[in-house]
Amino acid sequence: MPGRGKHRRPRINPLTRGFIAAGTGGAALTLPLLGATHASAAEPQSTPAAVQSVPRAVQPAKSLTYTVTKGDSLARIADTYDVSGGWKQLYKDNRAAVGDNPKLIHPGLKLKVKTTKAHAAKKTATPSSAPAKPAAKPATGVAQATQASAKTYANNLDGWIREALDIMAQKGIPGSYDGIHRNIMRESSGNPLAINNWDSNAAAGTPSKGLLQVIDPTFAAYHVPGTPFDPFDPVANITAACNYAADRYGSIDNVNGPY
């Protein structure tokens, strides 16, 4: 009823008083204040929304050269450097160097690792595009950049034998390239994952394994410190077998048949 509103003075917010217009019959006709008030309140919120829509800068991938150390695996290296795509991508990028088996990586092997510049700096690794800087006492387990002076070996039978010979020379274990190669070809044809599941050793529960077909008890007894404790590791298998042959036959060179 218009008459009732005639004698009432509605309380008007000072911020919206200018939007009131006189109406017929004494009633006040209000313009759409809600829309004006809402627009005023929403305006400060538009700025953060616009800011949030701006994409963050993506750190470019940085490539560095990494030297495999004892106990490393592709998964561990990929995790340390946050490699996009994980160990599978790291293996794909380095398949020519690693070979057909991603589980077989050995100390001294060089890998190309793609990481971000910031992350590489945190890990004290040296990007391949920048000069190396000495790091003061890096934390245990943090991967280190390759040093130019590090000796590397091919990830194949020739490289495994040569690496084993260098370790044997340090430990005083006799043997020659030809003696090792001859016995490997007879025992496993150069397959580091070879396993004998049919002879008397297998029947006793200790099948012969690896390049030089060593059973687990012999491997454990003659394992050479500094190599992985894994009979399927080529270098560990060769050095343990040669250590055993030296103890029993004087040298692997004196072995020309089953031993």
Residue 110 has pLDDT above 70, yes or no: yes
Q: How far apart are CA 152 and CA 232, in angstroms?
A: 20
Q: Are 147 and 110 in contact (CB under 8 A)?
A: no
Percent of the chain at pLDDT > 90 equals 40
- Provide mean pLDDT across the span 151-155: 92
State the pLDDT confidence band at 135, using cuts at 50, 70 and 90: low
Highest mean pLDDT among 83-97, 103-117, 169-183: 169-183
More confident residue, 177 or 25: 177
pLDDT, residue 236, reads 96
**61 compared with 227, residue with greater pLDDT:** 227
The Cα–Cα gap between 184 and 170 comes to: 22
Distance CA 71, CA 138 (A): 17
Using CA atoms in the order 40, 44, 47, 53, what is the torsion angle rounded to 10 degrees?
-90
Model pLDDT, residue 21: 40
Q: Which of 219, 200, 206, 172 is nearest to 258 (CA)?
A: 200
